[in-house]
Structure 1
């Protein structure tokens, strides 16, 4: 290790405890922090996998090479990666200057505060997540040894194609259902001679467990089901235990990552707001202050073609602070900010706090391609706000409902796209139906709209088809 690197590490070790103290004085509340400096290859591996202990998959390697190529050609750079865990791990990029790592440390302190206190993260399990993902990765490797890498990878491909189709309101693990003598197949209380009196006003019960209990047939599911992965786990007929384990693992991981997708603008805006305030409290040399100002300006640089979450989130939190201080007195703004940080996600954040003045100040607009040119088509602030909110509904993924798991009384799967003025990518749709067939092992249908006309796509195991309804 060179003397300069050793000196920078020593400075960082001296600085971080001071930054933690400043952050706590600002009332930030975070888990115990662990900082590590890693080479670029490690940072980009973590960035591609999403976690340092996750299972291997070819798509993660693809993401790694894309990010590393952008880094090698100086097109983009990841300065850090922070893990929502307890203790909270922050990986800093080797080669950062000391002032860059100071700013990054301040940034991740606020991220960790957000992870710990935002209500949408309250159902995640930060204490055991790293270990549980490592254990799952070991199981996946064992499956590859038992059943062959190609077979396991093909099944993981199929699950990953629909891994976003969960019900995020169901932040709990699936409970196994079994048919036993003391309890019936759906885990209900033991039967008594008087049960028929209580159930006179209820419809006939239907069991959907994989054990195949003999009950009167009703529609499966009885109500449309949003959690496609859960429905497949509980009702697909030909899945083995290792299949169920892979589906369950990917579903649980999606529950872990979902709050991060729900709060991207808020989380980055919160971290940017606080790294700016924490760094202002640090004793910086003139050269360090200039370098910090340049780096911060790069982080919040607005984009002409997309939303910069760091910039928009920062401006919205600053606007909240200013407006509440003006109306209710000094300090009310910070109090309101902490309340918003705790209770909101990006949808409610934008709907409630993106004002007309902010839309005009930040020059937000809607645009689309007309002919060969991209043109601005809308600057009305409410329509801009509503479009942003709409684009973030269900984290931007289409809502797919399971309508019938026994379509045509043949065990076929009928799915319906909840159409909201955005058509599905037909090429992607058709490829995804092939993967869903691998999971269901019977014909799969998906109803959607094309040019505002109801259409049905089908894959029967050999070929796909489409028709207008």
Structure 2
């Protein structure tokens, strides 16, 4: 983008942000940054701007690069929730595209602040995943220098193989299991027994309380395998435990991203369309170009008599949010945004009428 376009984008972004606040969107501050396309491909492969080194991310990078070069994938932006949120816009986008992307990011930011899954992780981790991921990468680099790449890579292989095996109902920072079983509660107060103990005569000797037995490990079925291994594996060194816990923390961060993809992308698409529609300060030519991009983003993968092999989450999410707002109003949409994930969203709000309209079956 030219310097003039950058200046115009900055002005458009400021006015769209004000419009978003006037229309009721609530979000943490968003830091926008222009980045080259090559950097965006790296982020798409690694998931974060800086992340622990592992060969599997290289495979993802090659796959993403091939899809990008063949025109099967185009990245307009990458946004990381937090306080502040971080949003990277491709510097090769047109002014119209990046104006739309700004509005899209604000929709993401509103969703991330208000959705219960996103806000729960924000509360646990403090909203600084980029800094935490960079710290993880730094510690792993230190371990590579100390014990060698082969040893560290073997531990990373094991930890990343278990990446999905986290208990999303648990807190990020968990205490170890109690070492002893709980002591049975004392008998309830009994007035007769109290009076009996006050009678004269010899009393039975008081026996020392028995030590409660050790609790089994684990005391219940444990789904949080990364945490369990890091806490209870007997032959692991501290740097190995750190790697398992780092992978667990990043896995918990990505869980709401995957669990709310349809909702999140649909919500951002709904709001970028609505914000641009209300942004009467935008030139008509820019608006038309931006809406053309919107149409490309939210279209289904197939049309006419063709059959789609996958569902475009932008298309399905955008259509569902429009359907909810039309039938139940914007306040209901905000309520759904707060309380649901994709499972509940589709189960509770994809009705037969909309499914037939979208040709899903």
Match of 1:381 in 2: none
Match of 1:436 in 2: none
Task: Say if 2:317 is the partner of 1:313.
Answer: yes
Q: Distance in 2 between matches of 1:26 and 1:197?
A: 56
Match of 1:156 in 2: 156
Q: Distance in 1 between matches of 2:32 and 2:185?
A: 62
Match 2:288 to one of 286, 290, 299: 290
Match of 1:72 in 2: 69
Task: Say if 2:8 is the partner of 1:15.
Answer: no
Aligned pairs for 1:189-338 (under 5 A) are: 198=186, 205-207=213-215, 218=216, 220-282=217-279, 283-303=281-301, 304-324=308-328, 333-338=329-334
Displacement of 1:47 in angstroms is 1.6
CA contact (8 A) 2:27 2:106 kept: yes
CA contact (8 A) 2:168 2:252 kept: yes
| Greater CA drift, 121-130 or 91-100 | 121-130
> Following superposition, which runs of at least 4 residues in structure 1 exceed 3 angstroms of deviation?
195-199, 204-207, 283-286
CA contact (8 A) 2:54 2:153 kept: yes
Compare the two structures and name the one with the higher helix fraction.
Answer: 2
Quick one: structure 1 residues 311 and 358, their matched pair in 2 at CA, closer, same or farther if it must change by over 3 Å?
same
Q: Distance in 2 between matches of 1:185 and 1:222?
A: 10
What do residues 400-438 of structure 1 show as CA deviations (whole Å, max 9, x unaligned)? xxxxxxxxxxxxxxxxxxxxxxxxxxxxxxxxxxxxxxx
Aligned pairs for 1:170-181 (under 5 A) are: 170-175=170-175
Q: Which runs of 5+ in 1 are unaligned?
A: 178-183, 190-194, 208-217, 325-332, 366-469
CA contact (8 A) 2:259 2:342 kept: yes
Task: Say if 2:350 is the partner of 1:361.
Answer: no
> TM-score, normalising length from structure 2?
0.86
Question: Aligned pairs, how many?
Answer: 328
Secondary structure of the corresponding residue to residue 86 of structure 2: strand
Q: Distance in 1 between matches of 2:91 and 2:297?
A: 19
Q: Distance in 2 between matches of 1:247 and 1:23?
A: 40
Q: Distance in 2 between matches of 1:278 and 1:126?
A: 29
CA contact (8 A) 2:325 2:333 kept: yes
Displacement of 1:126 in angstroms is 4.8
Match of 2:208 in 1: none
Quick one: structure 1 residues 142 and 363, their matched pair in 2 at CA, closer, same or farther if it must change by over 3 Å?
same
Q: Distance in 1 between matches of 2:31 and 2:126?
A: 14
User: In angstroms, what is the RMSD of aligned CA positions?
Assistant: 2.1
Q: Distance in 1 between matches of 2:94 and 2:353?
A: 37
Q: Distance in 1 between matches of 2:284 and 2:331?
A: 33
What do residues 6-26 of structure 1 show as CA deviations (whole Å, max 9, x unaligned)? 011010111111000111111
Displacement of 1:63 in angstroms is 1.6
Match of 1:85 in 2: 82
Q: Which runs of 5+ in 2 are unaligned?
A: 188-211, 302-307
Task: Say if 2:345 is the partner of 1:349.
Answer: yes
CA contact (8 A) 1:106 1:278 kept: yes
CA contact (8 A) 1:123 1:171 kept: no
What do residues 223-262 of structure 1 show as CA deviations (whole Å, max 9, x unaligned)? 3222222222233221111111110111111111111111
Query: Which of the two has higher C-alpha Rg?
Result: 2
Match 2:107 to one of 106, 110, 130: 110
Q: Distance in 2 between matches of 1:126 and 1:102?
A: 29
Q: Distance in 2 between matches of 1:86 and 1:271?
A: 18
CA contact (8 A) 1:162 1:229 kept: yes
Displacement of 1:221 in angstroms is 2.9
CA contact (8 A) 1:173 1:252 kept: no
Match of 1:43 in 2: 40
Secondary structure of the corresponding residue to residue 224 of structure 1: coil
